[in-house]
Amino acid sequence: MKIFVTGGAGYIGSHTLVRLLSAGHEICVFDNFSNSSPEALARVKQLTNRDFALVEGDIRDASALTRALVEFGADAAVHFAGLKAVGESSEKPLLYYENNVSGSAHLLAAMDAAGCRRIVFSSSATVYGEAQCLPFDEDHPIAPTNPYGRTKAMVEGMIRDWSAATPDASAVLLRYFNPVGAHESGRIGEDPQGIPNNLMPYIAQVAIGRRERLSIFGDDYDTRDGTGERDYIHVVDLADAHLAALDYTGRAAGCEAINVGTGKGITVKELVAAYERACGHSIAYEITPRRPGDVAISFAATGKARELLGWEAALNVDAMCASSWLWQSTNAEGYGETA
């Protein structure tokens, strides 16, 4: 199948490319490298021994996007491109609406121009907001608490409306929980710019000595050990979920939102302990006040993914930490330094 991949050079995109190429698909990546490096794509080619097309471009540029998609003749799109920093989205909301919402509208219009009717979209569990009940199932109310989450909810609605208005259209909105880890080779991984916002890359940078200690944001939550509990999902499992979702778009018309998680919560302290096992030394941390906006517990109901996609997570927290550590310890500066 010919698959157009926006944001394919990014963290989740690069891991998904490995799986798509290994499955024999023909790929065109469309990325502006605003939060990624061409080196990630070079490594994907090395790992798979497969070549693919690359168009360096911005999804806000409707004509460039349409040209690329029509020329490639895509059968399906996987739409990763977007900005994802929750804090930044409150400081620069219009940048997020323009990039994530307008960019996605351009993509759907470009798909119409190319006669492409299948899409898998990177949504987020952040669309649920505060938990009314746990685990989060796909019918949980949508009430995001920050501009980033609102852009994801808006794009979900837009894709749903597009699919209803487009004969034979098929869309899957994948609501990722907390993606972590790296490819088992250690050649590709998460390479955040500046101070990491998320827990796992922060732990990894403490482990390698780039940062002195982790701040644990609160130990007085109503959880097993008082620290926040999340559903961490191995990025390689997540990549496989995209293949299963693409497959599904070939079988069923309409639009489905589907959680991608393990269904199990892990606390901050449990993740730190697992990382210590992986790297073989202790991770320094201090307890600091809660981070505003954080919830105590988040984890996924996984039945819909199993039922519709035939997919479930296979890799555990030790595999997540071991792969992260292999990536971090062999690429201390991420893609900035070729290992």
Active site residues: 148
Name the binder of 129 from ligand WQD, ligand NAD, none, CB < 5-8 A by kind. none
Q: How far apart are CA 225 and CA 197, in angstroms?
A: 22
CA quadruple 18, 20, 24, 29: dihedral sign: negative
Q: x/- binding map, residues 226-265, to ligand WQD, per CB under 6 A?
A: --x-x-----------------------------------
Task: Find where tokens 């979209």 sit.
Answer: 121
Tokens standing for 56?
A: 């360096």
* Strand 26-31, strand 53-56: pairing: parallel
User: Mask 191-210, x = binds ligand WQD (CB under 6 A)?
Assistant: ------xxx--x--------
Among 236, 245, 268, 315, binds ligand WQD (CB under 6 A): 268
Residue 151 beta carbon to ligand NAD: minimum distance, rounded to whole angstroms: 8
**Site for ligand WQD contains 211 (CB under 6 A):** no
Q: Give me the DSSP letters along 277-297.
A: HHHSS---EEEEPPPTT--SB
Q: Which is nearer to ligand WQD, 22 or 198 (CB)?
A: 198
Indicate which single residue of 66, 124, 227, 328 sits in contact with ligand NAD (rule: CB under 6 A).
124
C-beta of residue 236 within 8 angstroms of C-beta of residue 151: no
Binder of ligand WQD out of 36, 126, 259, 323 (CB under 6 A): 126
For residue 194, give every residue at least 6 positions away whose Cβ sits within 8 Å of its Cβ, in sequence order, or none: none
Element containing residue 66 per DSSP (H, E)? helix 62-72
Q: Report the partner that residue 255 touches, choosing among ligand WQD, ligand NAD, none (CB closer than 5 to 8 A by kind).
A: none
Q: Which residues bind ligand WQD (CB under 6 A)?
A: 84, 86, 124, 126, 178, 197-199, 202, 214-217, 228, 230, 268, 291, 294
